[in-house]
Amino acid sequence: MSIDGIIFGDLEVYFRIFFSACIGFVIGMERSAKNKPAGIKTYMVVATACSLITIISIYSVDLYGTTTGKTIMDPMRLAAQIVTGLGFLGAGLIIKEGFHVKGLTSAAMVLFAGGVGIGIGAGFYGLVVFSVITIMVFTSIGNSIETRHFTNKGEEE
């Protein structure tokens, strides 16, 4: 497939970007509603950027990765590097005050938003939607348990 075919012919890649932004937006709304350090824009940008990088990585193999019929590129190498960058970004969200640590769930959610972007960029829509629903359900349950049984922990995350 040519670069023109990807840019103008394959509307699914545009859907992937848009869907990543939507899912990242939803994750960010949930985190913003809880007054967490990373919010709507952060999660939307992380999910969309990861999707974009994954799409570029996958399509680069078709465009640039063949020599005499043999693939010489790893299509997920760029996506694997996303995890390193997200670890760095997530580390900035973790704050230690005395014996209290805050931001661990926010950092994990940034990593999750990256996984959402990678999954959508690779075209795994059903798996991503199921994962987002699962995470949202279990974080809601966990938040309610922490608030009810561990009053000082419920305020942390």
Give residue-wise pLDDT tens across range 34-87. 887 777 888 888 999 898 888 888 887 777 666 666 767 777 777 788 888 888
Strand partners for 71: 66
Q: What confidence tier does 133 reach under pLDDT thresholds 50, 70, 90?
A: very high
Q: What is the largest CA-CA distance in the chain?
A: 63
Sign of torsion over alpha carbons 109, 111, 114, 119: negative
Q: What is the pLDDT confidence band of residue 154, given thresholds at 50, 70 and 90?
A: very low
Cα four-point dihedral sign 137, 139, 142, 144: negative
Express as a percent the part of the chain with pLDDT over 90.
12
The β-bridge relationship of strands 100-102 and 70-71 is unpaired
pLDDT score of 21: 92
Strand pairing report for 66-67 and 95-97: unpaired
Given this model, what pLDDT does residue 66 score? 67
Residues 91-114 pLDDT 10s: 888 888 888 888 888 888 889 999
Closest CA to 57 of 77, 43, 34: 77
Is the pLDDT score of 23 beyond 90? yes
* Arithmetic mean of pLDDT, 132-147: 85
Between 64 and 21, whose confidence is greater? 21
